[in-house]
Chains A and B, each alone.
Chain A
Amino acid sequence: MPSVLGIYDQPGPAAKVARRLKNRGYQKLEVYSPAAFHELLYAVHDKPSKVRWWTLIGGLTGVVTGYAMPIWMASDWPIMIGGKPFSSIPVYTIIGFELTILFGGLATLFGLLVVGKLPYGSFGKTDKAYSARFSAEEFGVVVECRDRDVAEVDALLRAHDAKEVTLVEG
């Protein structure tokens, strides 16, 4: 199937056209953007990113580990230090705090990789529709459609002020 690529100067029209195309049933849709724009982030995938679950679970694992590890270690070979209880919660709060952040941060990184599907594609290659202009200051909306829909997609892309529209060979 061919893909049609529309090029835009602003995130607003790119987001609008992406939303309309999606509503019309074009599911194989991608938007390339040189920076993060709020309107674009929700145009194609409207649910909040699942990275938040990664952070939450990572952080919770960290806080549990941060308390459990010193408590277990202090009771595995109990040595009285400074007359403090073996399971000295206020003191272990520091370890719990640091490990919450360590595990939460690392889980966020893995979440970014898993949810954002990175590393993407094969090494050194990009999508056919992608070009260096999308890491300059332009936006690209690329839609995969049947041959007979090309005219409609083309008209839609142009109706939203596309600077140019091209056919990307599928």
Chain B
Amino acid sequence: MSPPPAMPVAESMRPVRPPVDSKINRDILRVMEGTSAGYWLLLAAAMGSVGLAGGLWAWMVYQGLGVAGYTHPIFWGVFIVTFVFWIGIAHAGTLISAILYLFRAKWRNAINRSAEAMTVFAVLTAAQFLGIHVGRMWKAYFILPYPNQRGLWVNFKSPLMWDTFAVSTYATISIVFFYVGLIPDLAIARDRATGWRKLLYAALALGWQGTTLQWKSHSRSVLHLSGLATPLVLSVHSVVSWDFAMSLVPGWHATIFAPYFVAGAIFSGFAMVLTVMIPVRRIYRLEAYITDYHFENMARFMLLTSLIVGYSYVAEYFVAWYSGFEPEQTAFWMRAFGPYWISTWVMISCNCIFPQLFWFKRLRTHIPTLFVISSLINVGMWFERYVIIITGLSREYDPAVWGVYTPSWMELCILAGSFGFFSMFFLLFLKVFPVIAITELKELAIHDKNHDESVHGGWAEAYGEVDD
């Protein structure tokens, strides 16, 4: 028996049609195309504020921290407040990517990429403040346990040391997580880009072709990274809170600090994601991918965490009163009615009172309300850290060393610069990387195209169309 001839069969096969691109690819990759004057203006403003802050910082390094308003008894001022604030913002990304991934909450697909990006940029922003705060930042590496000619090692019993490990681990893992998630999407961009973008995406996509071996190791890695990042996200702000709770300062030395800070971090993180994504969705016409359902879910998260934060505020006051310990009682009395009463009441109203509006579905799905309240939460959460840190230090045990601190204009400019730093990275991200995880959306879309199979796990579930 002779083998069948190969050529006639080959001739009978049709040539490959020109590739038909999918709608999801076009819609998401379109965000990266072209830049308006408004975009350049925003980018210039962001970079300008970073430049200004950088200049002031250089002056401060030259002159010493005194020019920033650091004086007795407050040596942890706006810089540490802002550090804690940005570390908090960084928590939503990992929560959405890792914890909601493990819980198979499909609605995360619309926002996980941008939230992960915000996590990375917020950690980078926060890390700047460690350098800024230490003043002599050329000695900042002293905190690392490296062999040195003095033969001394770092003190691992210090919470600041734990913080170094927690924050650097968090920065590394969130960058790894962000990048691993990006690889398949970078390949999509590579197949469609030209010029310098093609080179960039080809380099970053590592030759990804979506083969089974690649997908298999990728899915497994994402699962494991989620499993690792879940306890990490809870640990980072706990460790940050121990920077305070491990000391004996009245108002700081409390066991509730870890869960209180973690809830606050998730609260502020979601608020920042909403504040940023509401304009992004509108400008880039992403309503088909980021729907009101997603925003409503985030509003629910904020309502939940707002209640936890509110409970913590009450618990703090109760424990201070119940302790019968006068310095603790005074600290909390002064917090609400002392020289910092404005900050305290801004914090309470922005974090506990306004979010209660989210009990109403109409307000949860009303985009302007969401935008205003999430912005207010950002303000409130900055003030929360301000209140905790500044009121604690300004009135410790000995009335002879009490003092009042007002942030200097220099500190406030550097604070503004931190927003510029974060925005600058986010604006660049919008134009360089796909803003929504395309392959994860496709998983849902392709499932849905197949009507014979169950729609479970499909688009409908991710977009909340099952409930309605």
**B-binding residues in A (CB < 8 A):** 2, 5, 7, 9-12, 18, 30-37, 40-41, 43-45, 48-52, 55, 59, 69-70, 73-74, 76-77, 79, 81-82, 84, 88, 91-92, 94-95, 97-99, 101-102, 104-106, 108-109, 111-113, 115-121, 123-124, 126-127, 130-137, 146-148, 150-151, 154, 164-167
Contact = CB atoms under 8 A, between A and B. Distances in A.
13 contacts: A30-B212, A33-B210, A37-B443, A52-B220, A73-B153, A84-B157, A95-B161, A98-B162, A104-B224, A108-B221, A135-B25, A151-B6, A166-B15
Interface of B: 3-4, 6, 9-10, 13-17, 19-22, 24-25, 145, 151-157, 161-162, 165-166, 168-169, 172-173, 176-177, 180, 183-184, 187-188, 191-192, 198-199, 202-203, 206-221, 224-225, 228-229, 231-232, 235, 239, 439-440, 442-443, 445-446, 449-450, 453
Contact of A150 (B9, B162, B166, B232): B9
Contacts of B156: 70, 73-74, 88, 91-92, 95
Contacts of A76: 151, 153
A126 B217 contact: no
Query: Across chains A and B, which 9 residue pairs bring their CB atoms closest together, nearest first?
Result: A148-B3, A120-B207, A116-B217, A73-B153, A132-B191, A133-B19, A147-B6, A70-B156, A49-B220
Contacts of A154: 9, 13
Nearest to B235: A97
A36 B218 contact: yes
B4 A148 contact: yes
B16 A74 contact: no
B442 A108 contact: no
Contacts of A136: 19-22, 25
Contacts of B215: 33, 35-36, 40-41
B217 A35 contact: no
A101 B232 contact: yes
Contact of A101 (B14, B151, B231): B231
Given A12-B450, A101-B169, A119-B206, A35 B214 contact: no
B217 A111 contact: yes
Contacts of A95: 156, 161-162, 165
Nearest to A41: B216
B213 A35 contact: no
A90 to B, nearest CB: 10
